[in-house]
Structure 1
Amino acid sequence: MTIPILICDDSALARKQMARTLPKDWDVEISYATNGAEGLDVIRAGKGEIVFLDLNMPVMDGYEVLQAVQQQDLPALIIVVSGDIQIKAHERVKALGALDFIQKPVSADAISNILQEYGILTLTQGNKADETPMVKVDMRDACQEIANVAMGRAADLLAKLLDVFVLLPIPNVNVLEVSELTMALKATEQSAKVSGLCQGFIGAGIAGEALLLFHDSSFEDMAKLMGLENPDDINTEIEVMMDTGNVLIGAFLNGISEQLDMKFSQAHPVVLGRHCSVNELIHDNSEKWQRTLAMEINYRIEDYNIQCDLLLLFTEDSIPTLNYKLGYLLD
């Protein structure tokens, strides 16, 4: 009997990877949804008996889908597939009725093992999974999914170090001129004062700079979580920025390097500016960047007044190599 499967993820690359990793002889009919609201419609239509659900999505996220399925008693077995690998994320989705959790990027073995464990894998002759419709993926979407997985790695490390839950956004990815960079910082209020840290990185054919914008209102809570005294002291502020930068930038770059199968070398971090507006900070350093591929992630910590923006700015010369590397994921 053909089983109706739903893959609910805002990333075309993630949907394609998920469909490709399903067991080849599994008799399924696959539907796709790009956000939680669409996903619920598919489930209600009876086309999502088994659901592979992302957490970070627009319109309605994965947590909200799980709540709705639980509250409305909808007939769906849900396996969460996410780049957010925080322990508390695992606990929350299980409490909301998720069958299990798989971390991105998915592997065929992990999928097969979970399906067999719960007795929902029945194999037939044929090659049903290959009959699924082609999912088109562009470079921006692929970069966004790469950033999504790397973001989750960085958040998990920060969460473990500080014993907190890190709230994750949908990564914002754009190719833009530096003059557009300030406008691209969606999560940063123009009136907010920030302090900035910059760290260069380079790999084979790919180079750029990681920029950490730390909201000034975040220093006090962050210093407390790190066990530091005198949060208003200049040395404490710089230590908070450096320590946060080491965690987020290092883990994020490692997450990208694993997915692209390459290594990055990192320069020493440099303080770009303190207690200034984003406009001032970008303007004062604009000669460093020209046309760039920008990945922006706005990290927030639950129950604390802590917010920082991590930007990865890849040089224009890096784009051909990125395209080449991403090609292996898209094929």
Structure 2
Amino acid sequence: MAKALSHWNVDISYAEHGLTALEAIRIGKGDVLFLDLNMPIMDGYQVLERIRAEDLPTMVIVVSGDIQPEARRQVLAMGALDFIQKPFSEETVSEVLRRYGLLSELQDESDELPPEDTAVILPDYYQEIANVAMGRAGDRLARFLDAFVHLPVPVVASVTRNELEQQLKISADQGKRVVSQGFVGAGIAGEAMISLPPESFESVAELLKLHYEATTEFENEMLMDLANILIGAFLQSFARQLDIEFSCGTPVLLPAMTSLPSGGESWKETLSITIEYGLNEQRNSCELMLVFSEESLEPLRKLSKYF
């Protein structure tokens, strides 16, 4: 986003979450606000509510990986000028700004070098790639369920073997049922796991307009449907952004989250991505967790730096 704006005579301020964005607007740093929806502390919807309640002087353009039609409808109804889908190009940003006459008085500075602070630290790329893939998968799930799916901030973290074992043990103790699917491509490999707590099965059946049957066979079939949608859409978008393709194994039903990434007992630390999709107005949720093999980290780093 900063690179897309670097050719214009503008001052760019940054906010890590909604509260700091509001503070910047109040002191006059937000004539135009490019607003993400999935943020910690205060998300984009809450920021739009506060802007409208306080009648703050800013023009809001939402930039998000949440491509659900309902998300777009909501933010426009709350006062946003427009909605830009991630990933986007510089041309897209310029076109939106021109559409609303926001560039008419700005001087083109296209011959100047971009400012130094437009550089992005590499781990941020992982979160943005995950954020876009999360939005694609969430949109597929929302259409499948004919419901609005609440999207969180993806949790991208380095995890040790002990930390992951403990996390999986907690999930197993909670009685979560799991579908696991392996993936590999361009030197990157890992496991994608979908988990659903036992109390969510009846609610998901309601969303699917199915008569709930408290049988293992019925619940496993529903979980497989969710896994096919979320894992497939997420991995497809994740790989497409890196300009690669993943080959996926056969989904496997597990009694609990007890599996670890391939590679025997040798690995010590690796990368995980965790996303908790909110279902049925966030009364229930299903979790998508990706764990990469340790050998994948270097190929992933090389590919994602071009994102």
Q: TM-score, normalised by structure 1?
A: 0.85
Taking a change above 3 Å as real, the CA distance of residues 41 and 183 of structure 1, as seen in their structure-2 partners, is farther
Residues 194, 288 of structure 2: 8 Å contact kept = yes
Q: Which moved more, 1:120-129 or 1:30-39?
A: 120-129
Alpha-carbon displacement from aligned partner over 1:135-188 (angstroms, at most 9, x marks no partner):
453333221111111111100011011111111111111121232015557xx7
Specify which of 170, 186, 192 is matched with residue 210 of structure 1.
192
In 2, Cα distance between equivalents of 1:221 and 1:114? 40
Deviation at 1:196, TM superposition (A): 0.8
Which structure 2 residues correspond to residues 158-169 of structure 1 after superposition, within 5 A?
Answer: 158-169=141-152
CA RMSD across the alignment: 2.1
Specify which of 320, 327, 331 is matched with residue 298 of structure 2.
320
Q: Which residue of 2 aligns with 1:306?
A: 284
Deviation at 1:88, TM superposition (A): 1.0
Which structure 2 residues correspond to residues 1-331 of structure 1 after superposition, within 5 A?
Answer: 18-22=1-5, 24=7, 26-122=8-104, 123-127=106-110, 130-181=113-164, 183=166, 192-273=174-255, 276=256, 281-282=257-258, 285-286=259-260, 288=262, 290=267, 291-303=269-281, 305-329=283-307
Any idea what SS the aligned residue of 2:41 has? coil
Taking a change above 3 Å as real, the CA distance of residues 99 and 326 of structure 1, as seen in their structure-2 partners, is same
Q: Which runs of 5+ in 1 are unaligned?
A: 1-17
Deviation at 1:128, TM superposition (A): 8.2
Taking a change above 3 Å as real, the CA distance of residues 58 and 143 of structure 1, as seen in their structure-2 partners, is same
Alpha-carbon displacement from aligned partner over 1:174-230 (angstroms, at most 9, x marks no partner):
121232015557xx7785320011000011110111011111111112123224334
Residue type at the aligned position of 1:327: K
In 2, Cα distance between equivalents of 1:92 and 1:181? 37
Regions of 4+ moved over 6 Å: none
In 2, Cα distance between equivalents of 1:70 and 1:321? 45
In 1, Cα distance between equivalents of 2:108 and 2:121? 33
Deviation at 1:113, TM superposition (A): 1.4
Taking a change above 3 Å as real, the CA distance of residues 201 and 36 of structure 1, as seen in their structure-2 partners, is same
Any idea what SS the aligned residue of 2:134 has? helix
How many residue pairs get matched? 301
Taking a change above 3 Å as real, the CA distance of residues 129 and 40 of structure 1, as seen in their structure-2 partners, is farther
In 2, Cα distance between equivalents of 1:151 and 1:241? 18
Q: Which residue of 2 aligns with 1:8?
A: none
In 1, Cα distance between equivalents of 2:166 and 2:86? 30
In 1, Cα distance between equivalents of 2:44 and 2:113? 26
In 1, Cα distance between equivalents of 2:116 and 2:48? 26
Residues 52, 78 of structure 2: 8 Å contact kept = yes
In 2, Cα distance between equivalents of 1:40 and 1:129? 30
Deviation at 1:124, TM superposition (A): 1.9
Q: Which residue of 2 aligns with 1:12?
A: none
Alpha-carbon displacement from aligned partner over 1:33-91 (angstroms, at most 9, x marks no partner):
11111111111111110110111111211111111111111110000001111111111
Q: Which moved more, 1:191-200 or 1:47-56?
A: 191-200
In 2, Cα distance between equivalents of 1:119 and 1:241? 48
Q: Percent identity between the aligned chains?
A: 45
